[in-house]
């Protein structure tokens, strides 16, 4: 069961999106618990009892706006799939600062909302996935969601998380198959988690933590395309 929160101070907008979400659920295998909130403050008050897995969030609201709410949740280490629904395209760039999954312009088109909700549920499933790695310290279970990137050294691959790394005998191609969707090979020795990429350049990618990984010339187009698809731009 997934918690889906809909936060918008306009009751007509909430009702419209609610109907679309229920339509999507009817044609989806996802099981959701849906709650509506008329303000960011109301959602924060209810957060301990209803932490959202997916958050459909208006940006321009009275009181705390949607971007401020998203930043507050991220500061709590919340990893909700945030989908902004806004009538103001100038706010779209703010979504990147809070790792928003997507942004939809009002009125949201049903087929586009359904597509983004499908991606949100797929991301949640991927976040729950783990890989088993044989390391010098024994067999380790590592959440795929926590892996920033993988780096190959000769006959070993290091799977790097924010707090530690796990080194195992493998090849970069085996690591790519193991990690699956959400990762792209940016260099012959590197796989990077698209979730953590802030900037894609023609020679390097920059992660949210400021780390820079090389991008080979022949893989640049593939990396750029994967990144844009991941965030729903393509």
Is the Cβ–Cβ distance between 35 and 42 less than 8 Å?
no
- Return residue ranges of the chain for CATH 3.40.50.2300: 2-127
Do the beta carbons of residue 53 and residue 21 sit within 8 Å? no
From 187, 165, 162, select the one nearest 176 (Cα to Cα).
Answer: 187
- Name the H helices within the chain: 11-26, 40-46, 66-75, 110-127, 172-179, 220-230
Report the C-alpha gap between 137 and 29 in whole angstroms: 39
How is residue 157 annotated by DSSP? E
Helix or strand run (H / E) with residue 135: strand 130-135
Please answer whether residues 132 and 141 qualify as being in contact, where contact means their C-beta atoms are separated by less than 8 angstroms: yes
pLDDT for the residue 78: 74
Q: CATH 2.40.50.1020 residue ranges in the chain?
A: 131-230
Confidence (pLDDT) at 234: 64
**Which CATH code for domain 131-230?**
2.40.50.1020
Whole-angstrom distance, CA of residue 58 vs CA of residue 131: 36
**CATH 3.40.50.2300: does it fit domain 2-127?**
yes
**Cα 118 off chain centre by:** 12
- pLDDT for residue 205: 96
To which residue do tokens 């790695």 refer? 133
Q: SS3 letters for 160-228?
A: EECCCEEEEECCHHHHHHHHCCCEEEEECCEEEEHHHEEEECCCEEEECCCCEEECCHHHHHHHHHHHH
- What is the structure's pLDDT at 92? 62
Rounded mean pLDDT for each run of 10 residues along the chain, 234 residues in total: 92 95 88 93 91 90 89 81 83 66 87 92 76 89 90 94 92 91 93 93 94 96 92 70
For residue 146, what pLDDT is reported? 87
Q: Which helix (H) or strand (E) holds 90?
A: none
């Amino acid at each position: 069961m997934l918690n889906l929160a809909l936060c918008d101070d306009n009751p007509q907008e909430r009702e419209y999106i609610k109907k679309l979400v229920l339509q999507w659920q009817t044609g989806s295998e996802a099981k959701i618990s849906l709650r509506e909130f008329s303000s960011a403050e109301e959602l924060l008050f209810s957060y301990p009892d209803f932490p959202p897995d997916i958050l459909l969030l208006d940006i321009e609201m009275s009181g705390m706006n949607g971007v401020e709410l998203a930043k507050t949740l991220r500061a709590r280490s919340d990893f909700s799939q945030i989908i902004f629904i806004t009538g103001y395209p100038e706010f779209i760039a703010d979504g990147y600062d809070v790792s928003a999954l997507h942004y939809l312009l009002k009125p949201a088109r049903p087929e586009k909302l359904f597509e983004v909700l499908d991606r949100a549920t797929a991301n949640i499933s991927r976040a729950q996935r783990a890989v088993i790695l044989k390391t010098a310290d024994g067999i380790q279970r590592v959440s795929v969601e926590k892996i920033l990137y993988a780096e190959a050294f000769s006959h070993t691959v290091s799977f790097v998380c924010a707090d530690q790394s796990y080194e195992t005998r493998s090849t970069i191609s085996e690591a790519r198959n193991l990690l699956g969707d959400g990762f792209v090979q940016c260099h012959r020795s590197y796989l990077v988690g698209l979730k953590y990429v802030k900037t894609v350049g023609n020679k390097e990618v920059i992660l949210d933590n400021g780390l820079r990984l090389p991008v080979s010339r022949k893989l640049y187009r593939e990396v750029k395309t994967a990144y844009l698809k991941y965030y729903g731009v393509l």
